[in-house]
Amino acid sequence: MSLLDVEDLRVTFPTEDGLVRAVDGISYSVDTGKTLGIVGESGSGKSVSSLTTLGLTRSQGARVEGRMVFEGDDLIEMNDDRLRKIRGNDIAMIFQDPLSSLHPFFKVGKQLSEAVLVHRKVSRSAARARAVELLDLVGIPDPERRVDAFPHEFSGGMRQRAMIAMALANEPKLLIADEPTTALDVTVQAQILALLEDLQKRLGMAIIMITHDLGVVAEIADEIAVMYAGRIVEHASTELIFGQPQHPYTWGLLKSIPRLDTPQDEELEPITGRPPSLINRPSGCHFHPRCPYVREAHKRVDPRLDSVAGERDHQVACLLPSELRMRIWRGLQEGRLPAELRALVAERNGQAAAVGEQREPLLSESEPGADGAAGIELTPPSAEPTPGPGQ
């Protein structure tokens, strides 16, 4: 059994404009000592899912369904008081902007010792001593003096170190890091990531690293889940995500990472369009309006996350045939542009369209046995559990 097992988590927020489906049926698990990277754009639901782990979306009026089993107990079922005892104790969290995440009016040491005192029956002086120890642990120089400083007297990197120290106060089994390096300089980012890796080795905790930047999780994560519009669209080991990515969105993310080993005049390939509204999501595959390889049927059929043929630990939610996906990815790696590769899809599509006009292509495309994209669901409106726009 994993340390944290998330099954079919759904988080919705009722608003005046409609129901926001922030997280729409995601499953993942994290083991002790391992790191899971959750990657996606803003609004993909990655932060909401992690805040829900600590029950921090409860006060925002979220409706939560599914299971989040932590050491045998379901965090979703748990009452506020029991969950509170897990927060900052067994599961700790660090956030994106360390300056706004630290209370501006309290000394760093006081905020650290408070984290200790919530869960441990120790004296104030012992808590303070622990605060100094923690600052030392995260590599803040001169911790005896720094413990009495205010957050604004720290540099950005030191503030994030202090946040990490606070999260580690009670030696949590799981650390959730929500964009921990986004607000920091590149050099400081690397330091913070190295620190997290080092601390994980020493303390043996599990880490969930949430980020929009695949580059951040490349080094640190064992597994990566790519989220889009509240769902996981691809989930695999870090090697597979970088080596044989299967989802067009993952390709887009990989192609938009600036690299040092490519020619300087080569332009980055952005993913066109905007993240979809979580109230009125696109029909069919939610990624279809932005996908360069979209076919007519993809606008109607909702792909399910399923194993790639031959690789049980590599899951993807894409309607394109597996063999075609591999060809496109190879093409992208050779430096060809999505617009050129689109021909591969259009060609097949044209053929398919020519074969028959009685909706046959829709089925022939799925060909479960042939191409391994076995998870395609036909979605008549009545059977669709998550209604698309206009429903």
Partner 1 sequence: MLRYIVRRLLWGIVLLIAVIAITFVIFYLLPNVDPAILRAGRNSSPKIIAQISHDLGTDKPVYTQFWDYLKNLVLHFNLGYSYQSQASVKSLILDRLPATISLTVGAVVLWLAAGIPVGIVSAIKRRSLLDRSAMGAALVFVSAPVYWLGLLMLFMFASDIGRFPISFLHGSGSYTGLTNSPINWFESLLMPWFVLAATSAAIYARLLRGSLIDVMGEDYIRTARAKGLRERTVVMKHGLRSAITPLVTVLGLDIAILLGGAVLTEAVFNIPGIGRLNFDAITHGDFPIIQGTITLAAIFIIIANILVDIAYAYLDPRVRYS
Least distance between partner 1 and beta carbon 56 (Å): 6
Candidate residues 76, 92, 108, 278; the one interacting with partner 1 per rule CB under 8 A: 92
Mask for 138-157, x = binds partner 1 (CB under 8 A): ------------x-x-----
Q: Which is nearer to partner 1, 105 or 261 (CB)?
A: 105
Residue 137, amino acid: L
User: SS3 letters for 208-253?
Assistant: EEEECCHHHHHHHCCEEEEEECCEEEEEEEHHHHHHCCCCHHHHHH
Bridge partners of 9? 26
Whichever of 104 and 385 has its CB closer to partner 1, that residue is 104
3-state secondary structure of 272: coil
| Start-end of H helices in the chain | 46-53, 80-86, 98-101, 108-119, 124-137, 143-146, 156-168, 186-203, 214-220, 238-243, 248-255, 322-333, 338-355, 360-366, 368-371
Pairing of strands 73-74, 63-70: antiparallel
Residue 121 is classified by DSSP as: -
Q: Which of 27, 29, 118, 307 binds partner 1 (CB under 8 A)?
A: 118
Q: Which of 14, 106, 274, 389 binds partner 1 (CB under 8 A)?
A: 106
Pick the closer one to partner 1 by CB: 87 or 235.
87
Please state the closest distance from residue 185 (CB atom) to partner 1, in A.
20
Chosen residue from 3, 48, 115, 131 binding partner 1 by CB under 8 A:
115
Which residues neighbour 92 within 8 Å (Cβ) at sequence distance 6 or greater? 166, 167, 168, 169, 170, 172, 174, 175, 176
Query: How many Cβ atoms are within 10 Å of 312's Cβ, its own excluded?
Result: 8
Q: Does 123 bind partner 1 (CB under 8 A)?
A: no
Q: Could you tell me which stretch among 111-119, 194-202, 252-260, 313-321 binds partner 1 (CB under 8 A)?
A: 111-119
Answer whether 99's CB lies under 8 Å from 39's CB: no
Could you tell me how many residues of this chain bind partner 1 (CB under 8 A)? Answer: 29
Rule CB under 8 A: say whether 84 interacts with partner 1.
yes
State the DSSP H helix or E strand holding residue 30, giving kind and residue range, or none if neither.
strand 18-30
Least distance from C-beta 23 to partner 1, angstroms? Answer: 18
Give, in order, the Cα–Cα distances in Å from 8 to each of 49, 305, 314, 389. 11, 12, 18, 22
- Give the interface segment with partner 1, choosing from 77-85, 196-204, 226-234, 304-312 (CB under 8 A): 77-85
Any contact of residue 229 with partner 1 (CB under 8 A)?
no
Residue (112 or 278) nearer to partner 1, CB? 112
Of the candidate residues 54, 69, 165, 320, the single one contacting partner 1 (CB under 8 A)? 54
In the set 119, 212, 299, 348, which binds partner 1 (CB under 8 A)?
119
Q: By CB under 8 A, tell whether 122 contacts partner 1.
A: no
Assess 121 for contact with partner 1 (CB under 8 A): no
Residue placing its CB nearer to partner 1 in the complex, 176 or 254: 176
Per rule CB under 8 A, is residue 208 in the interface with partner 1? Answer: no
**Which helix (H) or strand (E) element contains residue 177?**
strand 174-178
Q: How far is the CB of 115 from partner 1 (least distance, A)?
A: 5
For residue 93, give the H/E element and its range.
strand 91-94
Between 118 and 122, CB nearer to partner 1:
118
Cα distances (angstroms) measured from residue 223 to each of 78, 126, 234, 268, 316:
28, 38, 11, 25, 14
| Residues contributing to the site for partner 1 (CB under 8 A) | 54, 56, 59, 80, 84-89, 92-93, 95, 97, 100-106, 114-115, 118-119, 150, 152, 163, 166
